Amino acid sequence: MNSDKLLLDGTRVAHQIQQDLAIRVSQLAAKGIQPCLVTILVGDDPSSETYVRMKGNACRRLGIQSRRIHLAQTTTTEELIAVIHEMNQDSYVHGILLQHPVPPQIDERAAFEAISIHKDVDGVTMLGFAQNAFGEASFPSCTPAAILAILDDYQIPIEGKHAVVIGRSPILGKPVSLMLLNRNATVTICHSRTVGLDHIVGLADILVAAVGKPAFVQGSWIKEGAVVIDAGYNSGNIGDVDYEACLTKSSAITPVPGGVGPVTIAMLLKHTVDAAEKVGQ
């Protein structure tokens, strides 16, 4: 790594967030409250199983209770929603995470919408999205929140900057675009039908790559001195940007792994603790 480049170390940022959370968890324990996150996994997708296990382990390390519900691949929308309603009613449960993706027979949007807004710690409901758009979300989507947390931790200015986001998914590209807009960036959102993507990326002061294609963003597209946030995660620990080539042009960049990923998990824990504190007030 060139000494004039800033490596945006997500592992360090996540560690800092979790240290702060550990204090809050012990304060809750003194009141007899243990934050509890329920993860719901439907089916047997190995990557999803890994993600759910990582989230559960992160909870336990911090003293947050992690309850895991594993439903069969053949689960119907109605059966899944019934489980979510049960968790909504359970006063010991503070956060509900339905692992994406669910099997194709399930109406994922209907299942997400069944999650109580008070327990939507992963920011997947339409109401949560709308609150985020207004800058008022209790629990914004975790990866967008992680991206903002990294920029803030490194005191990277957002206001007045041109932020280009590649990707418009409801959990990542759209909400992070709105959060950057709410912080007074000028935001351009790109997607698969964007014409002249390389030119638009070349105008970015801050680039967020959320494409889902390994090493997709080329170094030659990047403006000299841009900040590059790689939200992508593809098999083989490969992000959505060509790291070595983008490193050469950027002033700061997140690695994969060790960038956005660990902070995303830290944000999920933070939202669960936030939710438990609200109940405990």
Q: Catalytic residue numbers? A: 55, 99, 122
Q: State the nearest-atom distance from the C-beta of 124 to ligand NAP, in Å.
A: 11
Residue 10 marked as a ligand binder: no
Among 210, 227, 252, 253, binds ligand NAP (CB under 6 A): 210
Give just the sign of the alpha carbon dihedral 152, 233, 263, 108. positive
Backbone torsion region of residue 237, taken as left when φ is above 0, otherwise alpha when ψ lies between -120 and 50, otherwise beta: left
Number of residues that bind ligand NAP (CB under 6 A): 26
Q: In the complex with ligand NAP, which residue's Cβ is closer, 60 or 191?
A: 191
Query: Do residues 112 and 88 lie in contact, with contact meaning Cβ atoms separated by under 8 Å?
Result: no
103 binds ligand NAP (CB under 6 A): no
- Write down the least CB distance from residue 55 to ligand NAP, Å: 10
Inter-residue contact 163 to 206 (CB < 8 Å): yes
Q: What residues between 217 and 246 interact with ligand NAP by CB under 6 A?
A: 231-234, 240
CB 41 within 8 A of CB 72: no
- Site for ligand NAP, residues 106 to 145, rule: CB under 6 A: 143
**160 annotated binding-site participant:** no
Q: Is 167 annotated as a binding residue?
A: yes
Known binding residues for NADP(+): 167-169
Binding-site ranges for ligand NAP (CB under 6 A): 143, 166-169, 171-173, 190-194, 197, 210-213, 231-234, 240, 260-261, 264
